[in-house]
Structure 1
């Protein structure tokens, strides 16, 4: 069943309060034939905040699923989209932060849950303790201010939103927030961090768009057996034979696609288009 039949002329509720429709709608609407609508007064802060006043409930995927489910409950719709971001050291590159974005689509009509993902090194996630306004200016410049917003607090860790000022995106706001934090700080130290909310962070918004594109590619991948979308790679098998000695290398030899609905699986050999591996990657030819 093609996407035109599944999604055409349907309304999708996007669970956001931070203008994520700017990144998601231009990618999904024309290709799926849907209309994305943001529900009024939808508070996503209850599912966790980057400034730590509220902890995220569960994993990143669980939080995104909760957002989408809540949007369905509030609106009575059958199709919802939500996204969730996280920032952590890159899993393979030490000491460098990465941004993982996921965009989830829940379709109650067809009982589908499909997730797009982007893991990117493109992020300005950062924080710093400063003691004077010049240090604050230097930090702001480093994270791309004023296009990217700032968060200022006079306490390093707080659960009280009244101790934090977010959305600082002009010099006047920066000076005002600095004076407020410095005058309230018991140790005359001010805590700055990048505002990682999507509407305050164009770099993150680009990664959300990439996750939406990944979601679209999965929606366009249909199961050969039941023809529903979401036919995706679930397993990677290494062992591509070396071009010289024929021994297995750590390069990918095959990938396994599986349908989440009917569980049909299909193996695809040589997904990178090469039947043999570079001897430089062979532990026997190049130990």
Structure 2
């Protein structure tokens, strides 16, 4: 049982943006973990959405840096070798033009057992957007479309190169928004507006972080048949699920290769998605 690996342990959650609201209740319920959020932890040193501090690496590597930094500076004091970190990214959806996609990753690092397991979520349910405006009226219209004031906004003179002192984050009051936009327009003739994608300013993003946490829990609960380590999950997928009409191979998954990161044991599972045949709509022969 995976609870054997985690029950009763303390985990440091490396965040300053109140992600514990989405992560802690789920992990505590699943594994009886004690989640500790360190005072004064500065996750902004690993990059900001407003680009005034660049992210040092890709999403996974950056989450790992956060977790290891927390362990190195606080692990001994708290008597733990377990840390959790989260990292999000936003960009265009690969299949739907003009639709933004939110990718979330929640990483667990366990130095006691040499484990590193990440949960993932990808969803188009996001208010991620930005716009340059030259009037207060246009700014208010953008704010309404972005879910303001329940979702925070950012105002700065330009998308790139703005003086950090003129980057205003966490705006959730209309009077404050009007005042900052008016001052920015007066000073620069334009204002760049963005949705504030920090977790505590974005309830929609919090839901995506919770989804990634649930995926992490699913992986932690899947144990290796050989060594019983958690995280026994799909490492690769083999296409070729036969078409239901002509039986030609399609691009859909025929088999999944499960792999244990601890002992290297692998297992091939056919029809992992519960389908013996593919809909002909996915067949290059029946639906060229």
Give the TM-score category using the shorter length. over 0.9
Q: Is 2:181 the counterpart of 1:178? A: yes
Structure 1 residue 149: deviation in Å?
A: 0.4
Give SS of 2:131's match.
strand
1:7 maps to what in 2? 6
1:121 maps to what in 2? 124
Contact 1:116 1:212 in 2 (8 A): yes
Structure 1 residue 70: deviation in Å?
A: 0.4
| TM-superposition CA deviations, 1:8-63 (whole Å, max 9, x none) | 11110000000000000111111111011100000111000000001101111111
Give SS of 2:64's match.
helix
Contact 2:2 2:223 in 1 (8 A): no
Give SS of 2:149's match.
coil
Superposed counterparts of 1:83-232, under 5 Å: 83-158=86-161, 160-185=163-188, 188-232=189-233
Give SS of 1:74's match.
helix
Contact 1:221 1:231 in 2 (8 A): yes
Return the alpha-carbon distance in structure 2 between the equivalents of residues 234 and 115 of structure 1. Answer: 13
Return the alpha-carbon distance in structure 2 between the equivalents of residues 128 and 248 of structure 1. Answer: 45
Return the alpha-carbon distance in structure 2 between the equivalents of residues 168 and 280 of structure 1. Answer: 47
Contact 1:151 1:194 in 2 (8 A): yes
Return the alpha-carbon distance in structure 1 between the equivalents of residues 281 and 154 of structure 2. Answer: 47
Contact 1:52 1:159 in 2 (8 A): no
RMSD: 1.2
Return the alpha-carbon distance in structure 2 between the equivalents of residues 85 and 149 of structure 1. Answer: 17
Structure 1 residue 256: deviation in Å?
A: 0.8
Return the alpha-carbon distance in structure 2 between the equivalents of residues 3 and 271 of structure 1. Answer: 22
Structure 1 residue 184: deviation in Å?
A: 2.1
Unaligned runs of 5+ in 1: none
Give SS of 1:162's match.
helix
Give SS of 1:254's match.
strand
1:41 maps to what in 2? 40
Give SS of 1:180's match.
helix
Structure 1 residue 286: deviation in Å?
A: 3.3
Structure 1 residue 157: deviation in Å?
A: 1.4
Count of residues paired in the alignment: 284
Unaligned runs of 5+ in 2: none
Return the alpha-carbon distance in structure 2 between the equivalents of residues 47 and 242 of structure 1. Answer: 47
Give SS of 2:183's match.
helix
Give SS of 2:182's match.
helix
Structure 1 residue 282: deviation in Å?
A: 2.3
